Every structure is written in C-alpha cells, then in structure tokens.
Amino acid sequence: MTTTTTRPTTDHPVLDAKALWQKDKDHFIHPFTDFSVFHQEGCDLITDSEGIHVQDAKGNRFIDGIAGLWCVNVGHGRAEIGQAMADQATRMAYFSTFNNLSNAPAAELAAKLAELAPAHLNHVFYSCGGSAANDATIRLVHYYFNRLGKPEKKRILSRNNAYHGTTYLAASLTGIESNNWDFDTLDHLVTHLSEANCYRRPEGMSEAEYCDHLVKEFEETIAEIGADNIAAFIAEPIMGAGGVLVAPEGYHQRMQAVCRANDILFIADEVVTGFGRLGHFFASEAVFDTRPDIINCAKGLSSGYAPLGATLISDELYEVLGTPQRKGGVLSTGFTYSGHPVSCAAALKNIEIIERERICENVREVGPYLEERLKTLSHHATVGDVRGSHFMMCLENVADKATKALLPVEARVGDRVAFEAQKRGLIIRPVGHLNIVSPPLVWSRDTVDRVVAILDEALGAATESLK
C-alpha cells in the first residue's frame, strides 16, 4: 500500500538532549514509570518521527512497534493532519461548546462517527481521552438510571486485568491489580469478574466449557448483587494492556444477552480496538457481532495527533439523556475541551486517511500474516504463548512452557526482550512478563518480516542473558 508521509525534518532545531534530560529528571513526573530505573538510566528522548519510524536524540531510528501507545494508527508525520490542525487553530482555535454553542469540526465529526458506528449509535459525547471517556460514560449511565427512576442501579461490573484508564472512576474500573497499588479505588461502585484468559484457563477445561464457566460467574454475580443494583457491564472487546486477551468464541454475545435479560447496559471500551486495529472502524459489531449500548473510543480516533475521546451513545439512551430535566436544570457534565475544534479537525483528517488509503483493508490483509509470523517465535524456550488478533498482539514469557510458571519478577523478562529489540531497531512494549506488539496500521508484509527477524534475535539474546 502507498502512504504519503512527507515531512521535512532537516529544518528542525537541533535539541540539546543533555540539558533536556536534566530538566525532565528535575521536573517531569512521568506516568507509569519506575523511578528507580528512570533516575539511573535516564529517558529516551524521542525527537522525530515519520511513517512507521521514530528517531531519538542520538539519531537512532526505530521501527515503532507500539503505534506510540496503541494510538498512532495512520503512522507518523502525516503533514495533512498537521495542516488541518494548523488551519483550524488559525481560523478558530477554541470556543466553548456549552449550551447552544458549537463548532464545525465537532459537528462534522459527530455525524461522521454516527455514520461509522453501528446503526443505533447516533449520539456523541466528547472528552479528552480514554479515561475521561470512560469516566464520563459512567456518570451518564448513573444519570440515565436516576432519570428513569432507578437510582439503585449504580454498580458497574468490570473484569480483572481490564484497563480502562486512570481518572478516579476509570482506575476503579481497571482490574490490573498492580495499577492501583497504594492508590484508592471507588470499590462501592465496581465489582470485578474474572478476565477471559484462554491461555490460563482452568486445567482440563475446553474453550467452550470455559465460556460457560465465565458466563455462569457473571449470572451468579448478578444474582448475588441483584440486577436492580447493577447499571452496566464494561469490557474491552480484546483486553489490551491486561495482556491482549482474546475471549473464547461467543463470549461477548453471551455476556450481552445476560445484560439484556437483566436490564444492565453493555458498554464496549474500544479505545484500543477502534479505528482499524482489528480491521474495522469498530470491532464490536463487525468482529464480535455485538450491539453495545455505548462504545467508547479515543487513541486511534485522532491517531494521537491531538487528545480526543468520544462516547457513542444509543438512540434509546439519548431519548432520556437528551430530554429536558423536569427541574429546568441542564445536563451538567462536560469539559472545557469537549469537541475541541483542533482535535476534531485532526480526527476528521485521520478518518479521511484511513478511508482513502484503505487502512482497515491493510489490517485485514497484513494482520493474519503478522499473527502467523509472530507464532513462529514460539520455538524460543521462554515464549509460552503468542496471541492476539490482527494489529493487536502479545508474547507471554514463561519459565516453563509445560507448567506455564512465570519467571521471577526480578528477572524483568519483558524489559529484557524489549531492550534487546530496541538495540536492534524495534520498539515494543514490555508489561511485566509480557511483550506487546501493537503497531501503526500501515505496516506491510515486508515490515512484518523485518520485525519478526529482529524479535527472533532479541528473544535469543534475552534468553541467553537469563542464564
């Protein structure tokens, strides 16, 4: 496929990496960072990017194997997105969207999202990212049930190892235990079910039996808490940061059916799976044949060129949310930057590129090849599982393939593999004992071959270093 990513890098000022590192170290509190390692080793200053590559301050060039952070779906250095943002910023960078004020990109984007989403999702609530989208969603869901005269319906069912973000509410929905170490969570609002982890399912259980087991757990939890007290179930179609976990066949449809039978809303967090990563704009309907009441998206919505999140809401819910309040109040929620014109202009151009360059088709074509080629890495002693779908993949490192026992945490196996890959020109993401590959959606088969060759060497070196 052809991509147009021309952006001159030569006229950019030379950066003083040493001085920047000092400022960074002294003042920038990095998210999700182990400060013991960070303070010793410093940070990699990423200064330039183009297409599938990024470059650091020392001039090292890397293949981006994580699309920035699951988000740069159309690839880096898209001059036309930059231009669309600049045009909007110079024409009208910002004005409120509260009350009856609006702007052209926000209106255009809302209509475009309604066109791309499943037919019943026609209403968009904007936020600034994935956490905020999930947070806003839960507030809207509570508001919806309050307005229906069902104020007891408050509890949200999420899953262990889910990742839904880090605002107070989104962090409470998140089920990755270590994410909330020494933080507080809103436990009175959230109950976590088991994640759907086919690799680590109970011994001797078939995948179909495992699916029955998970659905039964859901039904039993509802019976215990009482459907009258439960507002919604939230799930990523494929669990991302929690380990790229693909649920057993039919799982999401069956969970949705249980939701319907119990007047529980079904929310799909498509912050990662949306905008092409699984070969479609939205995976819920096209891949998993479900019909969520709400879909949340962010990341690939603007390909990371500007912060943006969106909650896509069904006609049925909107009938209540959009009805004037009895008391004459307003829908008192939203952000200064809801429907930010520059972010919405970036998203519109991003979607235009995805459509024009047939990027979803590229993912449907190259994705299965990426899966097939990554699976060849299973010959390494430490690679216990290679899983995922299309451009959302993961390697699980283990000490023993037969028992699936993990290496000790101190071995930092995910970091070792990522380090060896980076030395060889590829950035992948370590998460504990996992390595995640979630590239820009413009990777070709040739790129896949190059990446798998690098990973093959990196895994060999990492395994060697563990001896």
Single out the residue of 76, 153, 164, 387 in contact with ligand PLP (rule: CB under 6 A).
164
Say whether residue 439 binds ligand PLP (CB under 6 A): no
Least Å distance, CB 447 to ligand PLP, is 23
Say whether residue 241 binds ligand PLP (CB under 6 A): yes
Supply angle C-alpha 148, 154, 156, rounded to 5: 125
CB-CB contact of 341 with 104 (8 Å): yes
Q: Mark out the alpha helices in 148-230 (DSSP H runs).
A: 168-173, 207-225
Distances (CA, A) of 150 to 132, 147, 154, 313: 24, 7, 9, 19
Q: In 3-state terms, what secondary structure has residue 185? A: coil
| Residues 250-269: x where in contact with ligand PLP by CB under 6 A, - otherwise, as a string | -------------------x
Say whether residue 285 binds ligand PLP (CB under 6 A): no
Residues in region 133-152 near ligand PLP by CB under 6 A: 134
Least Å distance, CB 127 to ligand PLP, is 9
Say whether residue 130 binds ligand PLP (CB under 6 A): yes
| CA–CA separation, 240 and 300 (whole Å) | 14
Least Å distance, CB 129 to ligand PLP, is 3
Say whether residue 68 binds ligand PLP (CB under 6 A): no
The bridge status of strand 434-437 relative to strand 61-64 is unpaired
The sign of the CA dihedral 150, 152, 154, 158 is: negative
Residues in region 36-65 near ligand PLP by CB under 6 A: none
Say whether residue 293 binds ligand PLP (CB under 6 A): no
Single out the residue of 165, 341, 388, 440 in contact with ligand PLP (rule: CB under 6 A).
165
| Length reported for the chain | 467
Say whether residue 271 binds ligand PLP (CB under 6 A): yes
Least Å distance, CB 269 to ligand PLP, is 5
Say whether residue 237 binds ligand PLP (CB under 6 A): no
Q: Looking at beta carbons only, is 64 or 236 nearer to ligand PLP?
A: 236
CB-CB contact of 272 with 287 (8 Å): no
Single out the residue of 118, 240, 292, 384 in contact with ligand PLP (rule: CB under 6 A).
240
The bridge status of strand 426-427 relative to strand 61-64 is parallel
Say whether residue 353 binds ligand PLP (CB under 6 A): no
| CA–CA separation, 296 and 134 (whole Å) | 7
Supply angle C-alpha 325, 330, 331, rounded to 5: 95
| CA–CA separation, 340 and 415 (whole Å) | 37
Task: From 98-106, 130-138, 199-207, 378-386, give the range in contact with ligand PLP by CB under 6 A.
Answer: 130-138
Q: Which residue is nearest to ligand PLP (CB)?
A: 130
| CA–CA separation, 363 and 279 (whole Å) | 5
Say whether residue 163 binds ligand PLP (CB under 6 A): yes
Cβ partners under 8 Å of residue 167, min gap 6: 131, 132, 134, 135
Single out the residue of 105, 129, 274, 300 in contact with ligand PLP (rule: CB under 6 A).
129
Q: How many residues bind ligand PLP (CB under 6 A)?
A: 14
The residues of the shown chain that bind ligand PLP, judged by CB under 6 A, are: 129-131, 134, 163-165, 236, 240-241, 269, 271-272, 298
